[in-house]
Chain A
Amino acid sequence: MTMRSNGNGAARLNNGSPFLEALGYLRRNPTLAIGLILILGLLLFSVVGRLLVNIEDASPLSAPPYQSPSAEYPFGTDKVGRDLLAVMIVGTPLTLRVGLLAGVLGVGFASLLAFAGAYYGGIIDAVIRLVVDVGLTIPSILILILIAIALRGVNPTEMSLIVAATAWLWPTRTIRSQVLSLKERAYVDVARMSGMRGREIIVRELMPNLIPFIVANLVNTTASAILATIGMEALGLGPTSHPTLGMTIYWVILHAGVLGGYWWWWVAPVVIIVLIFIALYLTSVGMDELANPRLRRSL
């Protein structure tokens, strides 16, 4: 499916270049555009920041403690003397990366299960469905806590792997039901009658039609993975020696930073985390429209 199929009949800026076509689409889907711009902005903040600020200052004892924002430390410093600007510059992409890796792993595994289950049906599908139903009733944070306390002292990549352990449940359910509805379409019957076999139908007929849907799922899964990651970090189960956004929240909670009056300590991570969630939320709403053009949202 190309973006062309979303045409709404208006005059279109299409002279063949896919880049211009994408830009033209974004103009008609401002929700997606704002979401993507926010994400790019956050990445840019980190890339430019690395050029201007010494990221070594994100570790403890590199600045005097409890400095309120000043020319030298624009975001202030925390209890043990981390420069919070450096922490944000290192922590933002770190948090995004942990979420994206968990999201890719989760959605990848989910697609595999969904295709296998929905296409072959029978006992495989029944087992997958039951596991997903049970898994979704149990809050994933509890499973993640159990894994994390067993492994104690993780690094960000291990954090992604832990979060991925439950991140596949929801996308498996949604992708599976989408595959189920797609495989009833006439073109799948045509393919089957013209002699294609199971694997070929999945790869050549179903997958291309599902890619926008899977990408939209990836955005959602990444958002929930980041939510789970920050939640675990705030509970004290994160990578203690890495300056991620969630760990900053943990230090604030642990040292009662809010009631201590050190507002700059929590304002920066909270603002960035909120921006990340709003960006991913808008991207996902925008993606929904891309993946499912019949669903025109008024928001």
Chain B
Amino acid sequence: MWAAGYLLKRIAFFFLIVLTAATVNFFLPRLSGQDPIRERMIKQVQSGSAWGKGIEEMVEVYNAKFGLDRPLWQQYLTYLGDMARFDLGHSIAFYPKTVEEILREALLWTIGLLTMTTLLSFVFGTFFGALVAWTRAPLWLRSLAPPIMTMAAIPYYLLGLILLFVFAFELRWFPGHGGYRIGTIPNLSWRFLLEALEHSLLPALSILLSSLGFWAIAMRGMMVTVEGEDYMTLAEAKGIKSSRLFFDYGLRNAILPQITSLALAMGYVFSGALLVEVVFGFPGIGTVLFNSIKGVDYPVIQGIVLTIILTLATTTLILDLTLPMLDPRIRRQA
């Protein structure tokens, strides 16, 4: 019985988020009343890549093409329809290319980087946090806690700048820019994958190091609470082995809220990772965003915003749906 109500609620929430995202995406850039096409054209004239003559006609042609001459509510409805079909329109800066084409490849890089780092950081951070709270853990391990937790206060990309300098500029151990060597054409071969891996190590390390502390802090708090529970004292009095006490009694109970916060933290991780990509010139969504902001490419920026929110909403939905299987308490609540 719990399933239907809970399921419906989560799915409705998913659609609400997507609708909000699309609406915000449509109205916010129009707040200022500026004309994106005209602005873009003027910028192109200034940079010398188009002639000043006939610009008004070009603006009109473009406006008709992008439907910018129709009333706002009509544009909004068309926009929602386009979004439902995932038609994100064309890039202004690279005109014949569609936004979807530009994003498809970039998204692959970003998702690869983020899945890898988020999982590693979640596992290591959670385990580390649990050990730090565990009174029987060795002292050297517990003394690692303050530096790692302080690291959580540093934005990912600043750590990225430091790693870039140390490992790519000074030591030259790792490449400092891009996702593969200049001249390589992305393909599905082992050589290319290795090359891509080599290029993602530094960005991954910056995200990993600065997000470990986040999971550790949360897990430590939960583990301390669990350690104070009566059943822990009882288990200890019964003489249960220390390792079993840690994994089956402590970790197993303390980890559940961590999984809930995994859904909440995805957005935070995503925003942090955007700038890490920019620092390393990693060919993901973040770098595309950086370049689109520089080039005033509204459709691409809007496409990125929508894609990220869609990705996050989907991740959240998946986590929300798997959580009741792991945690009987949520089943009962729902």
Chain A residues packing against B (C-beta within 8 Å): 130, 133-134, 136-143, 145-147, 149-152, 223, 227, 230-231, 234-237, 249, 252-253, 258-259, 261, 263, 266, 270, 273-274, 277-278, 280-281, 298-299
Contact = CB atoms under 8 A, between A and B. Distances in A.
A145 B271 CA distance: 11
A130 B12 CA distance: 12
Interface stretch (B56-64, B69-77, B156-164, B228-236): B156-164
Nearest to A147: B28
Given A258-B169, A273-B158, A278-B150, 5 more contacts: A145-B289, A236-B294, A258-B165, A258-B176, A259-B177
Given A235-B275, A236-B293, A277 B155 contact: yes
B333 interface: no
B21 A227 contact: no
Nearest to A231: B275
Given A261-B169, A277-B154, A236 B290 contact: yes
Nearest to B154: A274
Interface string B29-51: 11110100000000000000000
Nearest to A254: B294
A76 to B, nearest CB: 15
Interface in B289-303: 289-290, 293-294, 296, 298, 301-302
Nearest to B268: A139
Contacts of B301: 145-146, 149
Chain B contact residues: over half helix, strand or loop, or mixed? helix
Interface in B160-195: 161-162, 164-165, 168-169, 176-177
Given A261-B169, A274-B154, A299-B145, A149 B278 contact: no
Interface of B: 13, 16-17, 20-21, 24-25, 28-32, 34, 145-146, 149-150, 152-155, 157-158, 161-162, 164-165, 168-169, 176-177, 224, 264, 267-268, 270-271, 274-275, 278-279, 289-290, 293-294, 296, 298, 301-302, 305, 308-309, 312-313, 316
A133 B13 contact: yes
A146 B21 contact: no
B20 A299 contact: no
Given A235-B290, A236-B290, A270 B305 contact: no
Nearest to A260: B169
Contacts of B308: 139, 142
Contact of A281 (B13, B153, B264): B153
Contacts of B31: 147, 150-151
A236 B296 CA distance: 11
Chain A contact residues: over half helix, strand or loop, or mixed? helix
B155 A227 contact: yes
B305 A146 contact: yes
Contact of A138 (B162, B176, B278, B309): B309
Nearest to B39: A152
A74 B310 CA distance: 48
Nearest to A273: B158
A143 B20 CA distance: 11
B165 A145 contact: no
A270 B316 CA distance: 33
Contact of A237 (B21, B28, B293, B316): B293
B14 to A, nearest CB: 9
Nearest to A279: B153
B20 A134 contact: yes
Contacts of A134: 13, 16-17, 20
Minimum-distance CB pairs A-B, first 10: A146-B28, A139-B267, A281-B153, A141-B271, A277-B153, A150-B32, A139-B271, A150-B31, A142-B305, A150-B29
Contacts of B271: 139-142, 231
A285 to B, nearest CB: 9
Nearest to B168: A259
Given A138-B20, A138-B267, A231-B155, A151 B32 contact: yes
27 contacts: A137-B316, A139-B268, A139-B270, A142-B308, A143-B28, A145-B301, A146-B25, A146-B302, A146-B305, A147-B28, A149-B301, A150-B29, A150-B31, A150-B32, A152-B34, A231-B157, A234-B157, A234-B278, A235-B278, A252-B161, A258-B279, A259-B164, A270-B158, A273-B158, A280-B153, A299-B145, A299-B146
A274 B156 CA distance: 11
Contacts of A151: 31-32
Contacts of A142: 271, 305, 308-309
B155 A149 contact: no
Contacts of B21: 138
Nearest to B25: A146
A258 to B, nearest CB: 5
Contacts of B161: 249, 252, 258, 266, 270
